[in-house]
Chain A
Amino acid sequence: MKKRYSVFAIAKEAARHHLGWERAWAAPSPKPKYDAIIVGAGGHGLATAYYLGKNHGLRNVAILEKGWLGGGNTGRNTTIIRSNYLQDPSAAIYEKSRSLYETLSQDLNYNIMFSPRGVIMLAQTQAEIRGYQRTAHANALQGVKTEWIEPRRVKELCPIINLDGPRYPVLGGLYQARGGTARHDAVAWGYARACSDMGMDIIQQCEVTGVSTEAGKVTGVTTTKGDIACDKLGIVVAGHSSALADMAGFRLPIESVALQALVSEPIKPAMDVVIMANTVHGYMSQSDKGEMVIGGGTDGFNNYTQRGSFHHIEETVRALVETFPMISRLKMLRQWGGIVDMTGDRSPIISKTPVGGIFVNCGWGTGGFKAIPGSGWAMAELMAKGEPGPLAAEFTVDRFKVGKFIDESVAAGVAH
């Protein structure tokens, strides 16, 4: 059992020069066989493992990661958390997720720095006004607390905003006061520590290169650290889902593209809400370190390089400078990309597959950080019982065949 993190632990360690901290998770070698293997130690894979253990008592579990844990999109995103989606199945899973975030630090005994500072999605066109008012009404029916706010209120909440941009005026916004941000690495690290503590094996630098099946059922995986057998396999690899599906012999309605973000030099506190401007594909919040964290739009072509095209960054920043004139002189420190997994209806897939014992969780695209706890919860239930529970029921891969889409592609087709 790991030592608990607390104010007393900090005081105790301070008194002995911080020499007593333990490793947060173990670095085991793979065993020959597990009850369940999760491929991908991003937030969704780790949360799946965590709830498999916590909610379903399944602990003979390995999480295999080709790089380092949390090094995929989970460590590359702009950390916006909200649940103001349009469709009922989305509202259910994103709101479950947001509410789990509220107490996740206590649950994991790991400070994930959830900061419900409020999220405003700006309406900058007439179509967006109608769209967001419709979403506010839908949210009211779903029991998700959001509200439509007028420009004056936007300005009160975010004084650095320019309401009267000639090209992109601010006409109002959809406001979710309990949305916000969390520390992305901490979410992965907190789940990893808890999984390791339950006796699960997190194996890093271990790439899955093949999937073995027998009579239409999974028997194990081939990896760069040898063959490992399993009864159940969860594929939770975001942008790499098509590659894993290919190894297992099926195909997914997914395309992988690059999504970029960038951060400025740190400045004094200037904004304490998250602002999303979907018309211009721009998003901005201020990190605890003082950096302005800015997210952009996706590239239009298939890409696995974790690098995006420069002109997208340029377009995002050009538009945001009009809405936030004060950022025009900021130096940008870093820019990076992640490979996101896009579905046709911009909703995720949490589903059984054509191969027995293989389950897939993917398609979170540009907006799955907010969904990590809820997605892990739903995926664990699916893997433990073999059938989806109420949260995952609508997110099957079959919906593309029967035409039961969960359309969240709204005006901009991007949602963080």
Chain B
Amino acid sequence: MLTLTCPYCGTHADETELAPGGEAHLKRFGPGSSDEDFEDYLFRRANPKGVHFERWRHAYGCGKWFLAARCTTTLEVYGTYPAQTTEPPEHILETIAAKRPGWSWEADT
């Protein structure tokens, strides 16, 4: 079972305590944007085989949204961090780079 640490309350929470929220760091497009951007925002997903940044909510705990970096092929968790950011923090990127030489963060465009 997947276990994530809530960055707000520090609890090591089981998956049953959490609600998944899909890909993180999506750039939001709304009224006035092009059809392509709006479609990308709503439906297109990176869905990588490998490092994935995603949103989770500590549903049966503090109730807050946080973000996690996880590998979709090994289920290894690289770390979790608060949601008030548009990019993964430096220490998370370093952890991933140390484990996966050659990997680098690309902002989703």
Q: Is the CB of A303 within 8 A of B54?
A: no
Chain A contacts with B in 377-416, Cβ cutoff 8 A: 400-402
Known contacts A300-B19, A301-B2, A311-B16; is A243 also within 8 Å of B49 by CB?
Answer: yes
CB contacts (< 8 Å) of B27 on chain A: these are none
Q: Is the CB of A301 within 8 A of B54?
A: yes
Q: Is the CB of B45 within 8 A of A255?
A: yes
Chain B contacts with A in 1-36, Cβ cutoff 8 A: 1-2, 15-16, 19-20, 22-23, 35-36
Q: Closest A residue to B35 by CB, please name it.
A: A401
Known contacts A242-B48, A243-B49, A255-B22; is A303 also within 8 Å of B43 by CB?
Answer: no
CB contacts (< 8 Å) of B45 on chain A: these are 242, 251, 253-255
Q: Is the CB of A401 within 8 A of B39?
A: yes
CB contacts (< 8 Å) of B49 on chain A: these are 240, 242-243, 304
Count of A-B contacts judged by CB separation below 8 Å: 65
CB contacts (< 8 Å) of B42 on chain A: these are 344, 400
**What total of chain A residues lie within 8 Å of the partner, measured CB to CB?**
25
CB contacts (< 8 Å) of B54 on chain A: these are 301-302
Known contacts A242-B48, A255-B45, A305-B74; is A300 also within 8 Å of B36 by CB?
Answer: no
- Does B44 have its Cβ within 8 Å of any Cβ on chain A? yes
Q: Mark A234-256, 1 if CB is under 8 A from B, else 0.
A: 00000010110010000111111
Tell me how far the C-beta of A271 lies from the nearest C-beta in chain B, rounded to whole angstroms: 31
Q: Closest B residue to A256 by CB, please name it.
A: B47
Bound CA span A255–B43, Å: 9
Q: Is the CB of A242 within 8 A of B43?
A: no
CB contacts (< 8 Å) of A240 on chain B: these are 49
Tell me how far the C-beta of A101 lies from the nearest C-beta in chain B, rounded to whole angstroms: 30
Chain A contacts with B in 197-215, Cβ cutoff 8 A: none
Q: Closest B residue to A398 by CB, please name it.
A: B39
Known contacts A242-B45, A401-B36; is A302 also within 8 Å of B52 by CB?
Answer: yes
Q: Is the CB of B72 within 8 A of A400?
A: no
Tell me how far the C-beta of B78 lies from the nearest C-beta in chain A, rounded to whole angstroms: 14
Most buried by B among A246, A300, A301, A311: A301
CB contacts (< 8 Å) of A305 on chain B: these are 72-75
Tell me how far the C-beta of B23 lies from the nearest C-beta in chain A, rounded to whole angstroms: 8
CB contacts (< 8 Å) of A255 on chain B: these are 22, 45, 47
| Contact surface of B with A, Cβ cutoff 8 Å | 1-2, 15-16, 19-20, 22-23, 35-36, 39-40, 42-49, 52, 54, 70, 72-75
| Contact surface of A with B, Cβ cutoff 8 Å | 240, 242-243, 246, 251-256, 300-305, 307, 309-311, 343-344, 400-402
| CB pairs A–B below 8 angstroms (20 shown) | A243-B48, A252-B47, A254-B47, A255-B47, A256-B47, A300-B19, A300-B20, A301-B70, A302-B47, A302-B52, A302-B72, A303-B72, A304-B49, A304-B72, A304-B73, A310-B1, A311-B1, A400-B42, A400-B43, A401-B36
